[in-house]
Amino acid sequence: MAGKTIVVLGGGVGGLVAANRLRRLLHREHRVILVDHNVWHSFAPAYTAVMLGQKVAGQISRDLRRLNRKRIEFIADEITGIDPAKKTVHLTGQQLTYDYLIVALGTQYTAGDISGFGTAYTYYTLEGAEGLCEELANFTSGRIAIVVPGLPYKCPAAPYEGALLLDHYFRRSRLRTEVEIRLFTPEPGPLPVAGKAIGEAVTELLAGREIWYSPSSRLQAVDPEARRLTFEDGIDAPYDLLIGVPLHEVPTVVREAGLAQEGGWVSVDRETLATSFEGVYAIGDVTGIPLANGLPLPKAGVFAHGEAEVVARNIAAEINDGETRWAFGGEGSCFLETGYGKAAYVTGNFYAEPDPDLKMRQPSFLWRWVKEGFVRTWLWRWF
C-alpha cells in the first residue's frame, strides 16, 4: 500500500491532538503534516491566569517545531486556499496535496460593525491577557465592564469566570469596595446550553459576589472618549476599563473554500465529523453542530479534543484496514474558576435529547486543583 498523506490545518487544540494521535497510530511510510501560521501553541484555558499575573506566556506555550522530532512535519505558513475538489491546500510558499484533510482552524476574531469596540481589552488572546495584566496592576478604582457583544463565542464559561476571578483579585488587594464589576451579554442567562438550573446557580454566584449582571443586553456602540457603552435597548453604561469578548467568525480561508456558508460554520456529521467533501473532516471551533434543543454545541477545547481523537482514529483505522469505527458522542466538561482557589465543574452529555444532560459540581478546592493539573500536563502530553 502506498504511503498516504494526512494534512492537518491548524496547530491549536484539535489539530495538535489529531496530528499526535495519527502519528502514534500510523506506520512511518504515511506522512502527517501540520500547518499553522503561528509557531507557538498557547493554551487558552490558562489565559485568565496570565491576566491575573499568576502565569507568564512561556509557562503556557510550546514551540510547534518540536513536533518534527516525532515525525509530525510542521510547516509554519499562512493557509491561503483549500481546494477540496483537487485535494490541495495552498500556502504562501508551497502547495500541499492530501489524501485526508483535517480542518482545525478555529475561529477568527473581528470587531464587527460595533463602533469603538476595537478599543476593548481582552483576555481572549495571549497578548491581550498580558496587556490586561499590566492594566489591572494600575487599576485601583472605577467601573469594569465585561462585554460579550455577540454569539457564539468560545468557552461559554470564560466571561463568567473572568468576572469572578477579577472580583477575588480586587478583594485580595482590598480594593473591591472601590471597583464595580459589570457583565453584559446578549444571552438570556449564563450558559444557556447547560439548562436552567446551572444558569441559576451561576447567576447566584455572581449576585453573591456583587457582580452586576445584565443578560439580554446587546452592545450597539462604544464611545471610548466618553467611556460609555450603548446597548440596543437604549440603555447607556459608563465604564473606566472595558474588557470585551471578541466577535467570532469562521476563518476567511474556510469560507472561501466553500466549506462554510457566509455567516455560518462548517457543517459536519456530528459523530464522524465528516464534511460533504470526500476525505475532508472538520473539528473544533470551526464547526457548527446543532443540538436537539436548537442551540449549537459550544465552542470549547474539550470538544475539539474529543473530535480530534475520533477523526484521527477513524482515518488510521481506514488506512490500516482495521475494523474499528469511532463515533463522537457529545461528552464534555468544563471548569469554571470562581476565585478563592476554587472552581466549579460542569460535566455531561451534550448530545442527550431533548436537552443536554449536565451536572454542575459546586465550587471547591478539588476542581481548581484538578484544572491546574490539567493545564500543567496538557503541554507535556502533546509536545
Residue 52 contacts ligand FAD per CB under 6 A: no
Which of 25, 37, 309, 340 binds ligand FAD (CB under 6 A)? It is 37
CA distance 332 to 8: 23
Q: What is the spatial distance between Cα 180 and Cα 207, in angstroms, rounded to a whole number?
A: 13
Our CB check for ligand FAD shows the closer of 155 and 206 to be 155
Nearer to ligand FAD, 199 or 251 (CB): 251
CB-nearer residue toward ligand FAD: 122 or 220? 122
Contact with ligand FAD (CB under 6 A): which of 121, 184, 213, 335?
A: 335
Long-range contacts of 363-372 (CB under 8 A, 24+ apart): 363/205, 363/336, 363/338, 365/341, 367/335, 367/342, 367/343, 368/335, 368/337, 368/341, 368/342, 368/343, 370/335, 370/343, 370/345, 371/45, 371/335, 371/337, 371/343
Full 3-state SS string of 160-181: HHHHHHHHHHHHHCCCHHHEEE
Cell of 3: 504511503
Q: What cell numbers appear for 233 in the block?
A: 435597548
- Is 47 near ligand FAD (CB under 6 A)? yes
The residues in 172-211 that bind ligand FAD, with binding defined as CB under 6 A, are none
Applying the rule CB under 6 A, the residues between 215 and 254 that interact with ligand FAD are 251, 253
Residue span 276-295 as binding mask against ligand FAD, x where in contact by CB under 6 A, dash where not: --------xxx---------
Q: How far is the CB of 334 from ligand FAD (least distance, A)?
A: 5
Stretch that binds ligand FAD, among 29-37, 95-103, 112-120, 312-320 (CB under 6 A): 29-37
Q: At its nearest, how many Å lie between ligand FAD and the CB of residue 279?
A: 19
Q: Give every CB contact of residue 372 below 8 A, 6+ residues apart in sequence.
A: none
Q: Which of these segments, 13-21, 197-205, 320-328, 357-365, binds ligand FAD (CB under 6 A)? A: 13-21
Instruction: Give the nearest distance from C-beta 165 to ligand FAD in angstroms.
Output: 11
Among 300, 48, 46, 334, smallest CA distance to 164 is for: 48
Which spans in 105-191 are helix H? Answer: 126-137, 158-172
Residue 10 near ligand FAD by CB under 6 A: yes
- Binding status of residue 146 toward ligand FAD by CB under 6 A: no
Kindly tell me which residue out of 32, 34, 45, 201 binds ligand FAD, with binding defined by CB under 6 A.
45
Return the exposure string of 19-50: e unless at least 16 CB atoms fall within 10 Å of the residue's CB, then b. Answer: bbbbbebbeeebbbbbbbeeebbbbbbbbbbb
Q: Single out the segment in contact with ligand FAD by CB under 6 A; choices: 151-159, 170-178, 206-214, 322-330.
A: 151-159
Total residues interacting with ligand FAD, rule: CB under 6 A: 35
**Among residues 257 and 316, whose Cβ is nearest to ligand FAD?**
257
Distance CA 283, CA 272 (A): 10
Residue 181, C-beta contacts closer than 8 angstroms, at least 6 positions apart = 144, 146, 163, 166, 167, 170, 210, 211, 212
Residue that the C-alpha cell 500556502 belongs to: 91
Residue 363 interacts with ligand FAD (CB under 6 A)? no
CB of 263 to ligand FAD, least distance (A): 18
Among 146, 191, 304, 319, binds ligand FAD (CB under 6 A): 304
Containing H/E element for 216? none
By CB under 6 A, name the binding residues for ligand FAD: 10-15, 35-38, 44-45, 47, 78-79, 104-106, 123-124, 154-155, 158, 251, 253, 284-286, 299-302, 304, 334-335
